Amino acid sequence: MNSYLFRVICILHSVIALTSGTLMIFYTEKASIFGHGSDIANKLKGSTPHDEILIQISQSFSGLLLFAIGLVLFMVSFVKDSEFHSFFAGGSVILYVLMALWRVVFEWKIEDLAFECPKQALGDIALAVSWVFFLVYTWREKYD
């Protein structure tokens, strides 16, 4: 049962990363508008054509990284070692909590992103909680 639950959570996170990454690569402007709203997306676009190209390339590379993370999550979902499952889930919890902390500490200071910061941090925490539920379920089965 643990292997099945691990696979479901990994594939769910993989679909989220693959979809977000694909949108960021191919529909950079629309993804920015969807994520931040049209007013903030226009402010974050850049003031000169050179800035706009650099920001678009940066966002596309971020999307490529997300896509690669989604592929890795998909591949990891087929690992059957239960000790690796616990290790990976614990690492994922730490990663998502650090992402939420980074958003609160650094993005909060950017005036245009401050409004979006709590929603995105809650999203990171929600993804971390899914791994925490997996760890609790695994530990409950292990120690009962």
Q: How do residues 93-107 score in pLDDT, each as one tens digit?
A: 999 999 999 888 887
State the pLDDT at residue 37.
78
- What's the pLDDT tens digit per position in 108-138? 777 777 777 788 889 899 999 999 999 998 8
The CA distances from residue 141 to 1, 42, 105, 110, 115, in Å, are 10, 50, 37, 44, 41
Q: How far apart are CA 6 and CA 2, in angstroms?
A: 6
- What's the pLDDT tens digit per position in 15-60? 999 999 999 889 888 878 877 778 877 777 777 888 888 888 888 8
- What's the pLDDT tens digit per position in 51-87? 888 888 888 898 999 999 999 999 999 999 989 999 9
